């Protein structure tokens, strides 16, 4: 009896997902899923800017490997296993498939929505790190030798050369260059997928964190007075605006000075 | 044919059927799809179904087995020992699991999070403490309380002696 109950509770906890049985129609669920990838935005942007997009498929002999590359605009691709990957401009990815599992080698930043297949694990190799998928939706970003992982849904195992950490939805972690174990980041950026959604959305975010995110995104330094950093900001900005325009908007909203270097 | 109130049946059985399917498929989304399809089939069916609940359980099972076969997975038996128990026992178990799921839903969010990090994600108490910036004792305490309340909840619901 005791064992039975323990097994049942174990089973429930293993699969538990909050809100999984909330009364949502399938159509609504579908809408939520589709909203995560507003690719049409980019289709329009591409047409307008007549940007060059290049998507390269290279079939190599031996174990089949496919390569994908995004040049000027985010690229959404479907891998042969049905997983959906959105590549940030400048990112490249190669995918290979075998009986043992699915392997991705990544340079740059990409958002993954992994097709379920428990018999063939999905692993992303990036720099010195490996991300092993236990759940479904996450982003891997390589920046100056550091590797960042953001989990939006489900769970992933993020490992360095030694130990790994299990990340669940809403968590961000970084494996710093030369480190053996990833660290969980407490103050993670509010908009890790801004490159895809096209916006920075802040709802009561601390200004220091906002400026750090904008600095990271634009590769410029956003600076304000030391007292100003603890102020709180609510608002939405678009990634295609100039850094200066965004800085001005924040400056006038909070009545303080922000400079972009 | 006796008129079946599908709405009531759905409310009563959807969760437990999903948990039943989950034992076969190991994936909640797929399980929900299968149960949904079985309800649709039940609505469309014009044959005389005397016990819709039993009918649903067996059609969910058949669909799960078909699905596993079509994926060419060798395993067509459930992931765990569900096969070795009788159908009635398996149904009873799914009911209890559905109640436990609801009890987990009802936990205070922070306490639930700690419980899941420990029991679902397999993190050590010391890791959870570091992750959340709280003491290991607090983690142990909160998880103990979570299990305590699941226990008392299921006692209430089932009148069943729950000894963890």
| A60 near B CB under 8 A | no
Candidate from B32, B97, B163 with C-beta closest to A11? B97
Least confident stretch, A7-11, A31-35, A182-186: A31-35
User: Is domain B106-164 classified as CATH 1.10.600?
Assistant: no
In chain A, domain spans: 2-59, 65-185, 194-260
Both tokens of B126, joined, read: 């010391």
Q: Are the CB atoms for A192 and A170 separated by under 8 Å?
A: no
From residue A40, how far is each of A34, A45, A110, B21 by CA, in Å? 11, 9, 18, 36
CATH of the domain spanning A65-185: 2.60.120.1440
A31, burial (CB in 10 Å: exposed 0-12, middle 13-18, buried 19+): exposed
Please state which of the four CATH numbers 3.50.50.60, 3.90.1150.10, 3.40.47.10, 3.55.50.30 is assigned to the domain occupying A194-260: 3.55.50.30
Q: Are the CB atoms for B149 and B107 separated by under 8 Å?
A: yes
From residue A56, how far is each of A42, A62, A103, A175 by CA, in Å? 19, 18, 18, 29
* Residue A41 pLDDT: 47
Task: Decide the pairing of beta strands A84-87 and A102-107.
Answer: unpaired
pLDDT > 80? residue A159:
yes
Q: Are the CB atoms for A143 and A213 separated by under 8 Å?
A: no
Give the pLDDT confidence of B25-52 residue by residue, as tens digits.
888 888 999 998 898 888 887 777 778 8
Asked if the Cβ–Cβ distance from B120 to A184 is below 8 Å, we say no
B2 against A83, higher pLDDT: A83
pLDDT > 70? residue A31:
no
Q: Are the CB atoms for A108 and A100 separated by under 8 Å?
A: no
pLDDT > 70? residue A24:
no
Q: How close is the nearest chain B Cα to the Cα of A132, in Å?
A: 14
Pick among A4, A17, A18, A21 to test the B interface (most B CBs inside 10 A): A21
Question: Rounded distance, CA A92 to CA A140, Å?
Answer: 12
Q: How close is the nearest chain B Cα to the Cα of A47, in Å?
A: 36
Dump the DSSP string for B48-91.
Answer: --S-HHHHHHHHHHHHHHHHHHHTT-S--S-SSGGGGS-HHHHH
In chain B, domain spans: 1-84, 106-164
Q: Is the ipTM of this complex over 0.90?
A: no
Query: Element (H or E) spanning A65, and its range?
Result: strand A65-69
**Close Cβ partners of B77 (under 8 Å, ≥ 6 residues apart):** B83
* Residue B22 pLDDT: 92
Q: How close is the nearest chain A Cα to the Cα of B105, in Å?
A: 7
Pick among B101, B124, B134 to test the A interface (most A CBs inside 10 A): B101
Q: Are the CB atoms for A151 and A179 separated by under 8 Å?
A: no
Residue B18: list chain A partners with CB under 8 A.
Answer: 21
B58 pLDDT tier (thresholds 50, 70, 90): very high
Residue B27: list chain A partners with CB under 8 A.
Answer: 116, 118
Pick among B81, B98, B105, B126 to test the A interface (most A CBs inside 10 A): B105
Compute the 3-state secondary structure of chain B and give helix, strand, coil in percent, each to the nearest 5: 75, 0, 25
- Order the strands of the A102-107 sheet from edge to edge: A65-69, A92-97, A102-107, A122-126, A129-133, A155-159, A164-168
Q: Are the CB atoms for B6 and B39 separated by under 8 Å?
A: yes
Residue A20: list chain B partners with CB under 8 A.
Answer: 28, 32
Nearest chain A residue (CA) to B22: A15
- Mean pLDDT for A7-17 is 87
Question: Rounded distance, CA A84 to CA A153, Å?
Answer: 14
Phi, psi (5° rounding) for residue A182?
-70, 150
Q: What is the CA radius of gyration of chain B?
A: 19
| pTM listed for this prediction | 0.46
From residue A169, how far is each of A149, A197, B144 by CA, in Å? 11, 18, 24
DSSP code for A89 = T
Candidate from B22, B93, B119 with C-beta closest to A10? B119
Q: Are the CB atoms for B138 and B131 separated by under 8 Å?
A: no
Question: Rounded distance, CA A8 to CA B96, Å?
Answer: 8
Residues β-bridged to residue A172: A150, A185
Longest Cα pair distance anywhere in chain A, in angstroms?
A: 68
- 3-state DSSP of A147-170: EEEEEEECEEEEECCCCEEEEECC
* Residue B73 pLDDT: 57
Q: How many CB atoms lie within 10 A of CB A51?
A: 13
SS3 label, residue B33: helix
């Amino acid at each position: 009896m005791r064992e039975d109950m323990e097994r049942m509770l174990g089973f429930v906890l293993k699969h538990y997902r909050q809100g999984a049985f909330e009364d949502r129609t399938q159509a609504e669920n579908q809408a939520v899923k589709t909203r995560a990838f507003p690719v049409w935005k980019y289709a329009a942007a591409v047409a307008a800017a007549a940007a060059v997009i290049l998507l390269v498929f290279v079939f190599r002999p031996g174990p089949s490997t496919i390569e994908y590359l995004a040049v000027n605009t985010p690229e959404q691709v479907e891998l042969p296993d049905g997983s959906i990957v959105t590549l940030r401009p400048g990112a490249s990815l190669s995918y290979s498939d075998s009986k043992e599992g699915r392997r991705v080698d990544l340079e740059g930043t990409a958002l993954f929505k992994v097709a379920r297949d428990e018999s063939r694990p999905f692993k992303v190799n990036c720099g010195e790190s490996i991300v092993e998928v236990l759940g479904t939706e996450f982003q891997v970003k390589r920046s100056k030798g550091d590797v960042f992982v953001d989990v939006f849904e489900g769970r992933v195992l993020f490992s360095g050369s030694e130990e790994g950490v299990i990340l669940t939805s809403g968590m961000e972690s970084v494996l710093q260059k030369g480190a053996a174990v990833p660290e969980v980041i407490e103050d993670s950026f509010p908009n890790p997928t801004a490159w895809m959604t096209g916006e920075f959305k802040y709802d009561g975010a601390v200004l220091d964190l906002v400026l750090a995110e904008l600095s990271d995104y634009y590769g410029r330094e956003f600076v304000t007075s030391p007292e100003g950093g603890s102020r709180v900001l609510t608002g939405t900005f678009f990634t295609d605006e100039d850094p200066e325009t965004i800085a001005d908007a924040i400056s006038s909203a909070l009545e303080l000075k922000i400079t972009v270097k | 044919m006796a008129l079946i109130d599908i709405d009531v049946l759905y409310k009563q059985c959807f969760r437990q059927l999903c948990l039943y399917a989950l034992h076969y498929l190991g994936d909640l989304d797929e399980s929900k799809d299968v149960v949904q399809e079985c309800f649709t089939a039940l609505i469309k069916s014009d044959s005389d179904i005397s016990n819709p609940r039993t009918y649903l359980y067996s059609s969910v099972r058949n669909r799960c087995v078909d699905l596993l076969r079509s994926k060419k997975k060798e395993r067509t038996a459930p992931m765990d020992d569900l096969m070795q128990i009788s159908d009635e026992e398996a149904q009873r178990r799914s009911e209890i699991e559905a109640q436990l799921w609801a009890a987990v839903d009802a936990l205070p969010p922070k306490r639930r999070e700690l419980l899941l990090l420990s029991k679902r994600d397999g993190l050590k108490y010391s890791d959870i403490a570091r992750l959340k910036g709280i003491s290991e004792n607090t983690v142990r305490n909160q998880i103990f309380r979570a299990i305590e309340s699941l226990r008392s909840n299921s006692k209430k619901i089932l009148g069943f002696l729950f000894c963890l």
